[in-house]
Structure 1
Amino acid sequence: MKDTEERSEAVQDDDLDIPNSACLDYTDQRVSLVTTSGTRITIGCESLLSSNRNQRCLLVGRQASTSDVRIQHGTISRKHAAIFFLDRSLVVKDLGGKHGTTINDARLPCNGSAFLKDGDRILFGNANEHLFVVRIEPDESDANDGDTSTKQSSSNYPQRHDQKLLELAGAGLSGRDKRQAEISAMMATLDNAPVYQKPVLPTEQSFDNVVQDPQVQDESQKMASRAKKYQLPITNVLKIPSESGRRNSVTALAVDPMGARFVIGSTDNHLRFYDFAGMNRGRQTSFRTVTPEEGHWPVSCAFSNTGDRLIVGTTSVQPVVLDREGQEEIQFVRGDMYVTDQSKTSGHTAAVTAVDWHPFERNNVLTASADGSVRLWKLNGRTQFKKLVCDKVYSVKSLRGQRTSVTALCFHPSGREFAVGTSCGSIQIWNPQRASGRPERTLILAHGDGKPVTSLTYNIDGTQLASRSSEDDQVYVWDPMKVSRSSDLLATCAGAPSLHEHANVAFNQDGTILCIPTSESRSQTEGILQIEGKLQFYKLSDTATKSKLLLSYSTGDISPTIVKWHHKLNQIFLGCADGCSLVFYDLKMSTNGALIPSSKAGKTDDSLSILLNSRAPSGSAGVSGEIVTPFSLPMYRDEQPNESKRRRLDRKDPLRSKEPERPATGKHKIGGQTGGSNFAMFVADQSVSKTKPIAGRDPREALFQYSEGKSFIGGAYQGNESKLAEKTAEEDLARKGDT
């Protein structure tokens, strides 16, 4: 019987394509995998399942019946990877899963393997909350008299101790007796004193322990000291993973004034809402995902000064206003595309490029478009067919007086003026209170001939204005009160290229440091373009024009696109081209925000959950994951509509289905419209009802009634009106026929 089991296990290893010389016995050193939460998994036979005692590798996967290291995540395969020793070296082998295995940010080839060393970081699939770090330490079993069970049953790992007791209790038994013994052992563990662990925040020291390279560790220490010297909150980072299956670039990002919620828009046409209070160290997902307009991705968004509403501009011509929960409140009217004068139409006629909310007026918003107009909207203003009509139009012209596209827009912190960047390269300062159709001040060719201004940002007091162009690797800082054709620069930040046209910049609280996300392509390897991303900080000097580069934070192959520096939280929000987002913070300088999820540990499984999950059938959810309650009340259901249900609901919605107006039914008039008629018939009926009925009357009599007191006779017939015919030609013929 034993030989049969060994042959079955050998076949299983052969199916995994594990070398015959692979093993799990390595007595010289203690090798383990440590997770970000502090859990340690020893690489050895003691970590194998009871059914895999003769196996030569440690199997990582999602299936409970075969996986020695089980990870419950949607991107983990049933048999995802194998870890074993080969020639006294630790090896990890990918088993051909869809989402693969990543070693130190480098993905292994399908069914490929790699040697591991101390400090290497292993990521299986996209389970970022289960990041493993390899630890190779001297074996201290001899110093503890060979009692390794005492070391593993310490208070740091109570769940591992309970699991071993359960396995020992059921050893040698089967069927009903085995289950009763396991239940008895489990009930006995409930009498033990509980062990409480205080959650430990991730610190700079914990990050340095992962990086074992002395050169890299020295650079990280220098970066930490510089960040502390210049008060930069970048010592810690919270990563918000991408929720879409593809690399959808982040194109819009906004944070509410209190810093409790933020939204991220990407090229998958979705806008995702995040709340820091609903996150923890193991879960950073959005609580709501909305689509502002089907087929158009968000390009710009901004919260109101009270944080209760959000304006979203997409690549369509109609911006929308959403509430704090993502429900649509107001949709703007569409302009007439056949009208060339933009001041004569009530909405945009081309794609929206930028939106912004008034700093103090909660009902005033600005929108810019490629049609060459900036429009001021009053949310409590006039509507047309339940859609908001703009209140004022500002037609933006180029140096030659021609219409030019608006590519950047931002309000002054005081709200008394706003800055506009155009595709022709000019910066224009407008006063929204004046009725004139000309800007207050204009700067021609800010970044050179033919280079559009794609980003404009004021500092907190409005004394500095930073501009950026997608076709230039420099960021310029201007004095907005002295903008003119001959204005001088306040500062220049060189060496800041970007591969994204919506890349922007951000000021710190006092306006002395400028944060710039940069990205550039290096080379191509096997047809894949290598991209290097950085987050650079420049010191703005009052005396020198050229700014000094203080710090350059490398984001690796992740290309940053949009940055927001929240001054109340003192945290930096960064959107990236792969769909993820990063929140930089400091444990001492920052408040709330990312500190909330970083201090909350995820839910841990107790001994009962471990037992039930281990006995769950293969492929079942066990007691973890989503709990389906099909017969619960609608208010307690947590179900996401599938694609077919969403389409069915969209067909019932007149706004999303673009259904034309239906004719009114019934005998009574509704809004001045008679029953059984459509809008065209209603207009025709109203126009006819205003005319005078002349049926059955003499046309001459009907016309002569308007000639009372007036003379329509020419000068040749003045005083001789009798020459006019008194009868029509038909009457004369009828009289001659009678005679």
Structure 2
Amino acid sequence: MKKITFGKISSNFGQNASAPTGTIGTFGPPKAIEVLEDDREAQQVKEVMGITSFGKKAKSFDIQEMMSQVKATAREVTKKPLEDKPLEESSSEDDDSSEGESDGDLIGPPIPSTMPEKPVKSTKKSVEDSDADEDDDDDDSEVEEDEHFLPVSENTTMRHGLKAVTALTVDHSGARLASGSVDYDVSFWDFAGMDSSLRSFRTLQPCENHPIRHLHYSSTGDLLLVISGARQAKVVDRDGFEKLETVKGDMYITDMARTKGHTAALLAGQFNPCVKEEFLTTSSDGTVRTWDFYQEGKQHKQIIKCRAQNGLKASPTAVAYNRDGKVIACGCADGSVQLWDFRKSSVAPAAQLRRAHQPVEMTAINFSHVGDHLVTRSMDETLKLWDVRSLKAHLNQIGGLFARYDTTDAIFSPNDAMVVTAVSMQKGEKHGRVNVYDRKTFGLVKSLPVSDGSHAIRVNWHAKLNQIFIGGGDGHVKCYYDPKKSLRGVTLCVVKSHRKAQHSEVVSGQQVITPHALPLFRQERRKTSRKQMEKDRLDPVKSKRPDLPITSGQGGRVASSGGTLSSYVIRNLGLSKRVNDDQDPREAILKFAKEAEENPYWIAPAYAKTQPKPVLDMGTEGSGEDDGEPQEKRSKQ
């Protein structure tokens, strides 16, 4: 029998035809023979295919050599840069230093030695420093321009009504705007659907005869909170249809926590920026109440009682959420600023400042977008900036800002670099204005005028649209924008031409107008609904007029048969002669007396056999019946 062996198959079968060295149970040749055969086979494949190597070999690292290279690199970095050194020397040194490391990493053909060299300009350090300073100045100026950039190159006007616009809001996406006024109207504006005429697509009165004080869209933009002078707040959808109305409170209960709703007129309100179904309202009863949309306004969710320093209630005239929706800032009528955190307690404020302003109504209070600053606006003609982390003293203050309306706005710019506030028109001035101040220095950056003879009340600077909306005292909403840096919004409307009503120019038939034509051929002119209704009212059939009452018998229901029941019966019996109702009945009977006497028909034939002597002739002279009676019993003749 042949002995079964296992060996390595090689390309050279003649050399590997020697006797096997292993036995059953051993696989392959010894280790030394295997290594030699691998090297020999790899060399033969390289020669046949013309390949120098099959890839990179594993590098071997020497710790001492690496440490020396690190030290040399550190010395070169700390040395003064050689600026006047020729390019050839530096490139040769770089090539020498990196030759050992990059030999194995080179890909492609080598660089030709005859390649032209690029000259290098030598400069002095002072020149470089000056250039660097100029670049820094340019960068600073660009940053300053970006911080103080105002989109005010163009403006347009939207007409809300004839009275002051006291409420203004834009939804989060920037697709719609809502404005409210003291004339009880709320107008809805859709930027995508408007043309250059800038007309609102819907105007309604959600709160009947109550002026609109505040409007605010939810974070998703599908709901709108309407705050009016009534005790009940309303939530409507994007098209103005009512979705919720808060409950009224019991005004005879002293403890406001025991009532389900507000007991006095509302002052302000806002949706939670993070929780879309939560919103808050403030009232003259001294409370701030939070509501849940899904509870249908049947009862408030939480309540805050704002107190003055003497313990009496203080009406929160302005309120705002921070960006997380966790802290509520209240500006009260006693001039105090109170910060409430529901995560801690709703009994006492987390922070407060009693004399932030004079004891008058605070018109606006808003957090910065970062959340560490607070701006307040008051009827004492001041604008103040506060640090939320320390409310002991204001950071900046501006005075002399007249505010006629108690809803005058003060907001931050989208990048928090500026503070914007509205200023009303004083006596002798031609128009109100919107002032823009630098947040750090409170220096005036820009003063934007409003319409002539009008106050500036509401301001809204939308971050996505980069447009400034201003509500004026003459019923106009003015919008400032920049065609290059403002997106969507009003820029979509001003480029659309006004769409006119399309009139049909195709005439089906030739019309000849003849004023004296017959009624049969006369074309009826189209009348309005009111004229048609008046015409139908005169028609007894269409108006279903009841039957007229019966008068003298002429023109009534039984005029042909007379006005009495007897005449009606006679006519139905078929008598040919007409009975005259105006004739005397006695004369009508006596007219047939002679005929009845000569030719009796009704009475005489009935009594002819029983009573030969007529009984009707009693009491006449010559009769013997009364002869035996006394004189006093005789009938008088």
| Bucket of the pairwise TM-score, normalised by the shorter protein | 0.5 to 0.7
3-state DSSP class of the match of 1:596?
helix
CA gap of 1:607–1:378, structure 2 versus 1, over 3 A, is closer
Question: Aligned AA for 1:456?
Answer: I
Cα distance per residue 1:368-391 (max 9 Å; x no partner)? 00100000111123x5xxx52111
Aligned length: 369
Q: Is 1:534 the equivalent of 2:534?
A: no
Q: Which amino acid aligns with 2:413?
A: N
Match of 1:465 in 2: 374
Instruction: Quote the offset at 1:554 in angstroms.
Output: 2.1
How much has 1:446 moved relative to structure 2?
0.8
Question: Which residue type is aligned with residue 581 of structure 1?
Answer: V
- AA aligned opposite 2:378: S
Residues 591-602 of structure 1 aligned to structure 2 (within 5 Å): 591-602=487-498
Give the structure 2 partner of residue 476 of structure 1.
Answer: 384
Residue among 493, 497, 504 paired with 2:398: 493
Structure 1 distance, partners of 2:381, 2:145, is 24
| Aligned position for 2:464 | 568
Query: Within 2, Cα distance between the matches of 1:256 and 1:302?
Result: 8
- Deviation of 1:494 (Å): 3.5
The change in CA–CA distance for 1:531 and 1:349 in structure 2 (over 3 A counts) is farther
Amino acid at match of 1:597: C
Pairwise CA distance, 1:261 = 0.3
**Counterpart amino acid of residue 383 in structure 2:** V
Distance in 1 between residues matched to 2:448 and 2:146, nearest whole Å:
14
| SS of alignment partner, residue 425 of structure 2 | strand
Query: What corresponds to 2:178 in structure 1?
Result: 263
Q: Give the structure 1 partner of residue 313 of structure 2.
A: 403
**Is residue 420–residue 427 contact of structure 1 (8 Å, CA) maintained in 2?**
yes
Q: Give how far 1:629 is off.
A: 12
CA separation in 2, counterparts of 1:498 and 1:396? 24
Q: Is the 8 A contact 2:195 2:499 kept in 1?
A: no
Instruction: Identify the residue that residue 451 of structure 1 maps to in structure 2.
Output: 360
User: What's the counterpart of residue 341 of structure 1?
Assistant: 255
Q: State the 1:229 CA deviation.
A: 8.2
Is 1:234 the counterpart of 2:114 in the alignment?
Answer: no
SS in 1 for 2:294: coil
User: Which residue is 2:443 aligned to?
Assistant: 548
Alignment partners' CA distance in 1, 2:420 and 2:371: 17
Distance 1:408 1:328 in 2: 25
* CA-to-aligned-CA distance 1:422-458 (integer Å, 9 cap, x gap): 111100000123344111001111123x233221011
Aligned twin of 2:187? 272
Q: Following the alignment from structure 2 to structure 1, what is the Cα–Cα distance between the partners of residues 500 and 277?
A: 46
Query: 1-side partners of 2:389 and 2:254: how far apart?
Result: 33
- Kept in 1: contact 2:402–2:426 (CA 8 A): no
TM-score of the pair, normalised by structure 1:
0.48
Structure 2 unaligned runs (5+)? 1-143, 514-525, 530-637
Query: 1:581 offset after TM fit, Å?
Result: 0.3
Task: Report whether the alignment pairs 1:284 with 2:194.
Answer: no
Secondary structure of the residue that 2:150 maps to in structure 1?
A: coil
Question: Which aligned pairs between 1:116-127 and structure 2 lie closer than 5 A?
Answer: none
Q: Is the 8 A contact 2:286 2:306 kept in 1?
A: yes
SS of equivalent to 2:263? coil
Output the amino acid matched with 1:416.
Answer: K
Deviations 1:582-634 (A, max 9, x none): 1111111110001000121223699997x9xxx9x9xxxxxxxxxx9999xxx
Cα distance in structure 2, aligned partners of 1:605 and 1:287: 16
> What is the rounded CA distance, in whole Å, between the counterparts of 1:250 and 1:305 in structure 2?
23
The answer as to whether partners of 1:330 and 1:388 remain within 8 angstroms in 2 is no
SS at match of 2:319: strand
Instruction: Tell me: CA distance 1:421–1:570, structure 2 relative to 1, closer, same or farther (3 Å).
Output: same
Using a 3 Å threshold, how does the CA distance of structure 1 residues 570 and 434 change in structure 2: closer, same or farther?
A: same
Which residues in structure 2 correspond to 1:146-161 (within 5 Å)? none
Deviation at 1:228, TM superposition (A): 8.2
Q: CA deviation at 1:522?
A: 2.9
Q: Per the alignment, do residues 343 and 554 of structure 1 end up closer, same or farther by CA in structure 2, a change over 3 Å counting?
A: same
Identity of aligned residues (%): 30
Name the CA shift for 1:599/1:439 in 2 (closer, same or farther; >3 Å): same
Give 1:506's aligned residue. 411
Q: Provide the rounded CA distance (Å) in 1 between the counterparts of 2:449 and 2:223.
A: 34
Distance 1:422 1:431 in 2: 17
Q: Superposition RMSD on alpha carbons, in Å?
A: 2.6
Offset, 1:568: 1.0
SS of the aligned residue for 2:492 comes to helix
3-state DSSP class of the match of 2:427? strand
Counterpart selection for 2:245 from 320, 331, 350: 331
Query: Cα–Cα, structure 1 residues 629 and 258, in superposed 2: closer, same or farther, change >3 Å?
Result: farther
TM-score normalized by the length of structure 2: 0.55
Q: Distance in 1 between matches of 2:369 and 2:430?
A: 32
Q: Does the aligned pair in 1 maintain the 2:147–2:415 contact within 8 Å?
A: no
Q: Quick one: distance in 1 between partners of 2:180 and 2:321?
A: 21
Question: Using the alignment, how far apart are the partners of 1:605 and 1:362 within structure 2?
Answer: 41
Q: 1:413 aligns with which of 293, 298, 323?
A: 323
Distance 2:183 2:502 in 1: 39
* Residue 590 in structure 1 maps to residue 505 in structure 2: no
1:608 and 1:337, CA in 2 relative to 1: closer, same or farther beyond 3 A?
closer
Give the secondary-structure state (helix, strand or coil) at the position aligned to 2:409. Answer: coil
Structure with greater Cα Rg: 2
Q: How has the CA–CA distance of structure 1 residues 538 and 340 changed in structure 2, closer, same or farther, with 3 Å as cutoff?
A: same
Matched residue, 1:374: 288
Cα distance, 1:339–1:571 mapped onto 2, change above 3 Å: same
CA contact (8 A) 1:373 1:393 kept: yes
CA separation in 2, counterparts of 1:482 and 1:228? 29
- Residue 119 of structure 2 corresponds to none
Query: Is the partner of 1:280 in helix, strand or coil?
Result: coil
Structure 1: distance between partners of 2:367 and 2:316? 17
Partner in structure 1 of residue 229 of structure 2: 315
Match of 1:159 in 2: none
Equivalents in 2 of 1:316, 1:465: separation in Å? 29
Instruction: Measure the CA separation in 2 of the matches of 1:436 and 1:311.
Output: 23
Structure 1 residue runs of 5 or longer lacking an equivalent are 1-225, 524-529, 618-627, 632-739
- For the residue of structure 2 that corresponds to 1:234, the secondary structure is coil
CA distance in 2, matches of 1:229, 1:629: 62
